[in-house]
Amino acid sequence: MPGRERETGVARPRPRRSLGQNFLRARWVTRLFAEWACDRRLLLEIGVGEGAVSREILSRCPDSMIYGLELDRRLVPLAAGLSLVSPWFSMIHGDALHPPLRLTAFDGIYGSIPYNITGPLLSLLALEARQPAMLLLQREVAERLAATPGTRTYGRITVLVQAVYRVRLGRVVPPSAFEPRPRVYSRLVYLEPRPDAPPESLVRRLEQLTRCMFSERNKLADKVASRCLGVPRVSLSSFAGRRVYELPVEDFIRLASREGIWPGAARL
């Protein structure tokens, strides 16, 4: 791979396993991103990589402006070459988990997300972005986001994301779509903000609560909630008889909304 160059004239660095780098190659996937992006004016790409997705969007969506965020300094000159293709692309070196941008400023956020940052990134989107998003994730994680209560894949990140977004699963993407090939399949997922999403302060409480309760996901919900919230179990009788993983998102929001309990909930 070193020494090979794209149209920018910049040598392509070798992917780093420590950064979870698998560069998207399949044009049919980049076209799906472009179809979604063309309805949006100001976009943020998380993890530009070699720029395949942004290049497709710039060529198909003349009214879209893209800010590309990339952590790997070696890739910045390569991706920055997209500005030669279009003046509507700006390259930014930075960490997606600590973005140097205000996420709420964008009309849409997209990216092929490295597996090693998926959980923290989804939490960040739910807590701070609340903007439409199209993400390419590990298939198992994508399907977890759309899981229903009582199923094996229903968990903390399911509740947190579904409290803020309507989740729609897209096409499955095979390992052959990437270079190097990952060992797992990926899947596209579309996140559309819910108009009735809780305020940010409540979502932060929900994040703390689910982190605590799903550490004992198979135990009785009222017992676990009593410990996590620091309230008597008898006051949680409406949640009795069900396991933590059987509670719907609305019940977790109800628990997180309880007044007068959070200052004393030290175990969170």
The pLDDT tens digits for 80-109 are: 677 776 789 998 999 999 999 999 999 999
**Are 245 and 154 within one domain?**
no
Residue 189 neighbours by CB under 8 Å, 6+ apart: 134, 135, 136, 137, 142, 145, 146, 167, 168, 169, 170
* DSSP symbol at 10: P
Distance, in Å, from the CA atom of 97 to the CA atom of 103, rounded to the nearest integer, reads 11
Domain count, the chain: 2
Q: What are the distances in angstroms from CA 191 to CA 44, 146, 164, 165, 232?
A: 14, 10, 9, 6, 37
What's the CATH code of the domain at 23?
3.40.50.150
pTM: 0.88
Q: Does residue 109 share a domain with residue 234?
A: no
Instruction: Clarify whether residues 64 and 127 are in a common domain.
Output: yes
Contact 251, 194 (CB under 8 A): no
Using alpha carbons, select from 39, 56, 50 the residue that is nearest to residue 190.
39
What's the CATH code of the domain at 249? 1.10.8.100
Q: 258 and 152 in one domain?
A: no
pLDDT digits (tens, 9 = 90+) for 133-169: 999 999 999 999 999 999 999 999 999 999 999 999 9
Question: For all residues of the chain together, what is the average pLDDT?
Answer: 88
Together in a domain, 77 and 143:
yes
158 shares a domain with 207: no
Paired sense of beta strands 108-112 and 89-93, if any: unpaired
**Whether residue 20 has pLDDT greater than 80:** no
Can you give the pLDDT at residue 5? 43
Domain that holds residue 74: 17-193
Residue 6 lies in a domain: no
Residue 6 is predicted with a pLDDT of: 44
> Domain end: 175, 193, 211, which one?
193
- Span 200-229, average pLDDT: 96
pLDDT band, very low/low/confident/very high, at 3 (cuts 50, 70, 90): very low
